[in-house]
Structure 1
Amino acid sequence: MRHALRRRLQSGELVSPYTNLYARSAYWNRLTVEERSLHTIRALAIRRPRWVFAGLSAVCLYGLEHAYDLHDGTIHIASRNGSHKRDDKRLRRLYMSHTGLLWQSSGIRITPPARTLIDCAVHPFAKALAIYDSALRRCLVDVEEIRSLALRTNCDDQAVERLLRYASPQSENGGESLMRGLLISQGFAEPQLQTEFDNPDNPGAAYRVDFCWKLADGRIIVVEYDGMAKYADTSNPNRASLQQKLDYERRREVHLREQNVSGVTHIVYEDLIRPERLERKLLAAGVPKIR
């Protein structure tokens, strides 16, 4: 069987994301990087039921929002020992003298939320912030629980504390969290999140804006993060047409300007992957820098 699998691997019919794990190439290539990680984790959990998955692997099992480019095929587990000579090169052991009360996801053992977030503080600030925001938004853990555990854990205390300072459950999705993390890293003033403005067309449904800065001179600056799904899905006949969505956005912007909003700047994902573009847009909008 092993020889047969290797022949199919060499021919390209199969892929092997981990030692002795195989998948059909046609199926594997249709998966996102997160789905590939989950497939590998679930297969390994069957083979190694005592393993405790940690770090980004635990993030996937919790279903927390995170940047896909954090995935590089590595599997993270908690371990009281260092790496073993026979370990797959894609396995990373995170040293833990004890993990505390373990959690489970579909029978797979994972580190508790607080410990998982502490281990994720090693990632770039903006990308780690998205994970922290997602965990707080889902009420998996609170700030004080993370801070208390960090005091008893060998970790990057400064990185964890910085993330706890800025993490917020008000951030509605990973894109908004990533953008907020980037603008904070670039030295811009921290925005207010999900600020409400009056909606003259429907007083019971106030307008909420993603990011808002209310300046000392009376100006109000609004920045919106526009995910592609906001406009892209017009296939459902029960959803508003693209033109209706655009008309609504125009009328909404007029109403915001009537409430002293000096301008509304729209940010898209392409701005986030090119931070210099994001910085130029924020400066042009008048968003203040504090450093």
Structure 2
Amino acid sequence: MKEHKGVSALLRAAEYEKRCAIGDGGRLSDALQRRVHTREIVSPYPNLFASAQYWTSLTPEDQSLHCIRALAQLHPQWVFAGLSATCIYGYQHAYSLHDGSISIASTGGLTHRDFKQLRRIYMNTIPSWQCNGIFVTSPARTLIDCATLPFERAIAIYDSALRAKHVSKTDIDTLRLQTRCDEQAVKRLLLHANPLRENGGGSWVYARIIRLGYAEPLFQVEFENPDNASLPYRVDFCWKLADGRIIVAEYDGMAKYADTSNPNRANMQAKLEYERQRERRIKAQGVTTIVHLFFEQVANLNQLDAKLADAGVPKIR
């Protein structure tokens, strides 16, 4: 289809601001809709548009944020909540949680004017904060609403919020007592949430380990790095057993390449050698077993169970 200068300018301006373009309700909107039909442009939410090529280059989280930023312009009174607020705060979470919907806080229910992608989370009083110029529910309220997500997904959001020091467990628990919510889910998440887990992947692996009934691991245990004392080796999960055994589990089998004393880190062969050396040195400090966990193995509970059992990790139930 022939280039439309108005459409091109609108899309460029929106991309620069990292949001979706907004239709004007007139001829420009008609031109945008024609290009939606030819698949040059996508419309992820009514009256919001983006170049198809640009849209597919974005992660699911960034796609949600592009919609949120545009909707915040259209509806400056909206207070974003749930997973939408999680995106605005930058809390780590699984991309699989994104289904194209947008969540806002509301003191009322759905209206006949609501689009199907809009989800209203009911609350008597909306604890409104601002983050990056957008109104959102408070961190504590956001986490309480995210407790409705599966535990294995919600735990990463809790860990991330605690790691960012936006909220404390006491803040969340206090609000839990004042809020109509899934109290058991919130209490379980607070019991297991830990800011020492460095990323969402580690939080997910932890939740799978706990689901299988294994003993609680230690996190980010440090071992001496003889090449660089200021950058000790840190492991993802560690069990120190009463019989003297020390078991280490690393997610994805990736060594921690933060040691800048190795000038050839960019070379894959050097990375592999670095990992082997790292393991030798960790084992020399009393570690008896190191088990590497890959995504596919963690996703399959039977495989994960077999890996941990073979490593000697004890079960408590």
* Structure 1 partner of 2:193: 167
Q: 1:76-91 alignment to 2 at 5 Å? A: 76-91=103-118
1:263 aligns with 2:289: yes
CA contact (8 A) 1:188 1:290 kept: yes
- TM-score normalised by structure 1 residue count: 0.92
User: Residues 277 and 97 from structure 1, CA distance in 2 versus in 1: closer, same or farther, beyond 3 angstroms?
Assistant: same
What SS does the corresponding residue of 2:215 show, helix, strand or coil? coil
CA contact (8 A) 1:118 1:160 kept: yes
Q: 1:1-291 alignment to 2 at 5 Å? A: 1=27, 2-100=29-127, 102-226=128-252, 239-291=265-317
Higher RCO structure, 1 or 2 (CA under 8 Å, sep 6+): 1
Cα distance in 1 between the residues matched to 2:117 and 2:86: 17
User: Residues 240 and 25 from structure 1, CA distance in 2 versus in 1: closer, same or farther, beyond 3 angstroms?
Assistant: closer
What SS does the corresponding residue of 1:261 show, helix, strand or coil? coil
Amino acid aligned to 2:172: I
**CA deviation map 1:181-222 (0-9, x unaligned):** 111122111100011223344445432211001112221110
User: Residues 227 and 115 from structure 1, CA distance in 2 versus in 1: closer, same or farther, beyond 3 angstroms?
Assistant: farther
Gaps of 5+ in 1: 232-236
Q: CA deviation at 1:267?
A: 1.4
User: Residues 207 and 18 from structure 1, CA distance in 2 versus in 1: closer, same or farther, beyond 3 angstroms?
Assistant: same
Structure 1 residues 238-247 or 250-259, which shifts more? 238-247
Gaps of 5+ in 2: 1-26, 258-262
Structure 1 residues 262-271 or 169-178, which shifts more? 262-271
CA contact (8 A) 2:246 2:286 kept: yes
Cα distance in 2 between the residues matched to 1:54 and 1:254: 47
What SS does the corresponding residue of 1:28 show, helix, strand or coil? helix
Q: Structure 1 vs Structure 2: percent identity of aligned residues?
A: 58
Structure 1 residues 127-136 or 189-198, which shifts more? 189-198
Cα distance in 2 between the residues matched to 1:189 and 1:273: 19
What SS does the corresponding residue of 2:248 show, helix, strand or coil? strand
CA contact (8 A) 1:175 1:227 kept: no
User: Residues 3 and 253 from structure 1, CA distance in 2 versus in 1: closer, same or farther, beyond 3 angstroms?
Assistant: same
Tell me which structure has the larger Cα radius of gyration.
2
* Structure 2 partner of 1:234: none
Q: RMSD of the alignment, in Å?
A: 1.9
Amino acid aligned to 2:206: R
Structure 1 residues 115-124 or 211-220, which shifts more? 211-220
Cα distance in 2 between the residues matched to 1:159 and 1:39: 30
Cα distance in 1 between the residues matched to 2:242 and 2:295: 30
CA contact (8 A) 2:248 2:289 kept: yes
Aligned residues: 285
Q: CA deviation at 1:54?
A: 0.2
**CA deviation map 1:218-253 (0-9, x unaligned):** 21110011377968xxxxx87442222211211121
Structure 1 residues 176-185 or 44-53, which shifts more? 176-185
What SS does the corresponding residue of 2:249 show, helix, strand or coil? strand
